[in-house]
Amino acid sequence: MSILVVGSIGFDTVTTPHGKVEDALGGSATFFSAAASFFAPVKIVAVVGEDFAPSTLDFLRRAGADTEGVSVDKGQTFRWTGSYGAEMGDATTHATLLNVFQEFRPEIPHAYRGEPFVFLANIDPELQLRVLDQVEKPELVVCDTMDFWISGKRDALVELLKHVDVLVINETEAKTLAGESNPIRAAKAILPMGPSRVVVKLGEYGVMLIGEDKIYRLPAFPVEEVCDPTGAGDSFAGGFVGKLAQTRDLSFEGMHRALLAGAVCASFTVESFSMDRLKGIDRNAIDERCRDLEHIAGWTWSALAV
């Protein structure tokens, strides 16, 4: 089953203790698609500027992604500049140039509207609602958000959550949205807002899946050296949703197993800048690391997980 993703494509200038890259390929839709494409075809809706070379996304096309929904508008492509300290915690943003993304109003091509899996990457919740108005009864809607929208567009976000099956959110965002200081209480407080499951990303401590009076926890894959955390959350979502699209197992246990794919995709992403590490691996590398993480977590589901 293929996946519709709506989000950003842009260029990142990132500084970490391991170096600096300028105008490296980034954006939520890009990281998501790079990871999800290991498991299922992806159809991308985004906007870029006239400065964006069409060949930049060739690696995604070779992986089976459909980029016909990526429009080219007059102006410059979205750009973000940020840096990370020695602890590789949250990024410090130095500049955000929305450029053509400022006027982005997603129009879903008719050929994309019947996709059974929809991922709403981190964009304005009003735009996420606009997407849902255009799609036709998807089997699964997963969305991401951020503190900026939780604080600045709360009403629209709360309305959006009524139409979402799974919310993927980090620990700080979950606490802010729910007004709780504990991530478990926060996730449980979000469930009545609409989603049947909440995935809480805990950074280096792993991820939790909460819903149906169940809590599943998976540790992060132990990475010896984190080069650049940019895009790790979107890569996690790509692996997670990609695996669900491949198996079509939307049970709680099926989602539990899909966490493996998400965690592994994120672990590869942080080992290099931009998409460099994801571009250099194949599905066998994903499966091998899934098996390793499965053993670390004490699971015995290899046949189903990979």
Instruction: Give pTM, 2 decimals.
Output: 0.95
Across the beta sheet with 197-201, what order do the strands follow?
A: 66-72, 42-48, 3-6, 117-120, 140-144, 166-170, 197-201, 207-211, 214-218
- Report strand pairing: 214-218 vs 207-211: antiparallel
Residues 162-209: tens digit of each pLDDT: 999 999 999 999 999 999 999 999 999 999 999 999 999 998 899 999
- For 244, half-sphere exposure in the C-beta direction (CA atoms, 13 angstrom radius) is 26
Helix axes 252-269, 232-247, angle to 10 degrees: 140
| Residue 269 scores a pLDDT above 60 | yes
Residue 145 contacts residue 124 (beta carbons within 8 Å): no
* Better-predicted residue by pLDDT, 229 or 86: 229
Residues 21-67: tens digit of each pLDDT: 999 999 999 999 999 999 999 999 999 999 999 999 999 999 999 99
Q: What percent of the chain has pLDDT over 90?
A: 92
Domain spans of the chain, in order of start: 3-305
Q: Which amino acid is at 87?
A: E
- 3-state SS class at 2: coil
- Between the alpha carbon of residue 92 and those of residues 20, 30, 272, the distances in Å are 14, 21, 18
Q: Which two tokens stand for residue 131?
A: 């997407």
Distance, in Å, from the CA atom of 110 to the CA atom of 112, rounded to the nearest integer, reads 5
- CATH code linked to domain 3-305: 3.40.1190.20
